[in-house]
Structure 1
């Protein structure tokens, strides 16, 4: 947690020292990178969750609402949502079930595929996601804890890692570099 007592030493730097002391020099830098990214994710998701708590939203629920709100009509096939959110279909199904239960999303029959469903944002869902987005923009995204140049470098480096891991391929024509 970001507001927790500061440690007198960086535990990740200490872990790197221990890795090297145990003869794992060739893996020490990679271990440091992986654990640093994981810890940074924990810190950021903590800020996001604290910001979304007054809206009774998890980040997964927020992402689904925001995804739907970005569409022209506030609706999309469930399969498209699963692909865009890059999470397991069961996770999306569980998230959607909660949003439906809370009246923020409705399931509609797919017009051409009887096995598929269309997800549609309700007026309450649209209103909630707009308020939650405003809070996230103010409390997290506008000031993530790094300078603008550092943010651009970080996003670029992580994008290279994601691309090399097969997370996405570059569209043609290429967008402006991150």
Structure 2
């Protein structure tokens, strides 16, 4: 385990950035903080999911299927909703299928489309794994509900500005 540094390296980078006379020091610090926070959150959530041999990416696939009406979605639609390349979805589905948590099924009316369907084991796993993720405060233990809502509101602006979704 890495011991905590005796100083905030992002604040120090900001000080050095300013010392060089470079613009956008606050933006650099915000971007770097987002990147580091993502590493921390992902590590915590992955640790919570370890008993099920899941990564956050595979867990997201299970949750997406769990939220669908029938537990079944076309692979292409899953890629769109999770904002992942089709090759990444294929890889995730392959791994989850190997684990017995979902299965591929043909689309009933479109031979070109393959569906992913949650298995009974997949349904049970997503419920149990979610309990562990919630117990880990979804990786943001230090944030209050208000902090989390504020952070989501702020980052939503960034996502909307990048055309992540229609506003």
Tell me which of the two structures has the higher relative contact order, counting C-alpha pairs closer than 8 angstroms and 6 or more residues apart.
2
Q: Does 1:140 align with 2:137?
A: yes
RMSD: 1.4
Note the 1:1-80 alignment, pairs <5 A: 4-24=2-22, 26-80=23-77
The number of residues matched between the two structures is 167
Give the unaligned 5+ runs of structure 1.
Answer: 171-178
Q: Does 1:164 align with 2:155?
A: no
Instruction: Output the TM-score relative to the length of structure 2.
Output: 0.95
- Deviation string for 1:49-74 (max 9, x for gaps)? 11011110011111101111111211
1:19 and 1:130 mapped to 2: Cα distance? Answer: 46
2:28 and 2:138 mapped to 1: Cα distance? Answer: 27
4+ aligned runs moved over 2 Å, structure 1: 140-144
Aligned to 2:115: 118
1:93 and 1:156 mapped to 2: Cα distance? Answer: 32
- Deviation string for 1:24-43 (max 9, x for gaps)? 0x121111110011111111
Instruction: Output the TM-score relative to the length of structure 1.
Output: 0.89
